[in-house]
Amino acid sequence: MRPSASARAVYVVGTFDTKGEELTFVCERIRAQGVAVVSVDVSTSGRGDSRADVAAREVASHHPGGPDAVFTGERGSAVSAMAQALAVFLRQRGDLGGVIGAGGSGAASLVAPALRSLAVGVPKLLVCTLASGDVRPFVGSSDIAMLYPVVDVSGLNRISRQVLSNAAHAIAGMVHAWQEPDRNALPAIGLSMFGVTTTCVQGVTQALQRDFECLVFHATGAGGQSLEKLVDDGHLVAMVDITTTEIADLLCGGVLSAGEDRLGAAIRRGLPYIGSCGALDMVNFWARDTVPIAFADRLFHQHNANVTLMRTTPAECERIGRWIAERLNRMPGPVRFLIPQGGVSALDAPGQPFWWPEADRALFDAIVLHTEPTPQRRIVRVPAHINEQLFIEQVVEAVRSVV
């Protein structure tokens, strides 16, 4: 339960030993908007700063190994340990309404992991000199807003004052405007989709939308991670994971992997899992000239000028099937995994470029062979293509049987 509007504070987090002037300015601008502030020092130098409400050593005390595990004298390990301590510290705060951090690469490495650990919906803003580049390592699957400060966060001047003021007003506005979720809303389910499984996912969504709020995730790596995070945060009552294609990229060297933790949230949370083989016939790469030379003799399909698809082989499909089965076996909640025997994507059908029955059979057989069936864990073979109406109906029936 989030605190009431009047009790929520913005936590201003940063290294007060080097950025004290700038962070104090942010605190003042937030207070000027009528929002309470708690300033938090995460300096690892050991010097500390009296301008912060919460001292670095207090934050460090939340590390499992205590402050000594943080103040090691070696910057790399100290930053990593302080980031871990900060995540624990923030999650324990009963008045936390939002968090803002500011600094360079060190601040991003320290503050961003703690922000990612907070639930989706908690306002999070990071002013960082790396925000004009690739921010995925910092944002991950969370809803972190990043703002580029234009000049370095190093002293106050005509540019930094304006940018930091904008940031302060933004986080204050987020906290002011935050509302409790609608308690009368439908229960939410998460569905994974790719362009080549759109017909299936849209059909399932249409059939279930009167009873569930259907949240669809694009299976591009970040999409799968976001689906997993919302499960971990308790937002979803079931996973309808029709499109598990990110696993193919993980195991076969593609560019849209969601990482080793794909399917991990269903194991941790034990919620109903309804899965399938959507788009496991393909591995994703960017433009054709970016495909590793090791794959030169493989079967490709040019999805567009920037995306190249590679067909998975029978050996790869067998490996993917084993990987999925191992995780299905660890899920404590109800499991229904549906196998579309007529093909796993729009490209995997008679007359289409990725139609390869032997590869599909290797995938299907590996899943069936290595999954341990129980009354709660069932593999269902469906004599239909993944985008056909019969398969859609079977997915809907599976959802209604376990949710």
Do 224 and 153 lie in a common domain?
Answer: no
Check residue 183 and give its pLDDT: 81
Q: Which amino acid is at 57?
A: R
Do 192 and 70 lie in a common domain?
Answer: no
Query: Dihedral, CA atoms, 119, 121, 127, 131, nearest 10 degrees?
Result: 90
Please report, for the domain that includes residue 196, its CATH number: 3.40.50.12030
Do 72 and 212 lie in a common domain?
Answer: no
Place of tokens 């409400």: 53
Domain-embedded: residue 183: no
How many structural domains are present in the chain?
A: 2
Do 209 and 121 lie in a common domain?
Answer: no
Residue 200 has pLDDT above 90, yes or no: yes
Four-residue CA torsion sign, 377, 315, 361, 279: positive
Do 152 and 208 lie in a common domain?
Answer: no
Residue 132 has pLDDT above 60, yes or no: yes
Do 172 and 225 lie in a common domain?
Answer: no
User: Going along 96-177, which residue ranges are E strands?
Assistant: 96-103, 124-128, 145-147
Residue 4 has pLDDT above 90, yes or no: no
Confidence of residue 180 (pLDDT cuts 50, 70, 90): confident
Do 202 and 171 lie in a common domain?
Answer: no
**Alpha-carbon distance values, 357 to 9, 302, 314, 381 (Å):** 58, 21, 9, 15
Domain-embedded: residue 136: yes
Domain-embedded: residue 317: yes
Domain end residue (candidates: 131, 150, 177): 177
Tokens of 50: 């009296």
| Alpha-carbon span 80 to 108, nearest angstrom | 11
Query: Dihedral, CA atoms, 370, 231, 145, 69, nearest 10 degrees?
Result: -80
Domain-embedded: residue 66: yes
Domain-embedded: residue 125: yes
pLDDT tens across 211-224, in order?
Answer: 999 999 999 999 99
Please, what is the Cα angle at 130 between 128 and 133, to 5 degrees?
Answer: 135
Four-residue CA torsion sign, 66, 69, 73, 77: negative
| Alpha-carbon span 364 to 121, nearest angstrom | 38
The residue range of the domain holding 204 is 188-402
pLDDT tens across 245-290, in order?
Answer: 999 999 999 999 999 999 999 999 999 999 999 999 999 999 999 9
Check residue 184 and give its pLDDT: 85
Do 217 and 328 lie in a common domain?
Answer: yes
Please, what is the Cα angle at 164 between 162 and 165, to 5 degrees?
Answer: 60
Four-residue CA torsion sign, 100, 103, 109, 110: negative
Check residue 1 and give its pLDDT: 46
Provide the terminal-to-terminal Cα distance of the chain, rounded to the nearest Å: 24
Domain-embedded: residue 201: yes
Please report, for the domain that includes residue 69, its CATH number: 3.40.50.12020
Those residues whose C-beta lies under 8 Å from the C-beta of residue 397, and which sit 6 or more positions away, are none
Domain end residue (candidates: 144, 177, 210): 177
Do 60 and 101 lie in a common domain?
Answer: yes
Nearest CA-CA partner of 188 in 124, 122, 271, 116:
271
* Distance from chain centroid for Cα 384: 31
Confidence of residue 50 (pLDDT cuts 50, 70, 90): confident
The full length of the chain comes to: 403
Do 196 and 304 lie in a common domain?
Answer: yes
Domain-embedded: residue 331: yes
Do 127 and 233 lie in a common domain?
Answer: no
Domain-embedded: residue 182: no
Domain end residue (candidates: 132, 147, 177): 177
pLDDT tens across 142-170, in order?
Answer: 999 999 999 999 999 999 999 999 999 99
Residue 2 has pLDDT above 80, yes or no: no
Do 270 and 301 lie in a common domain?
Answer: yes
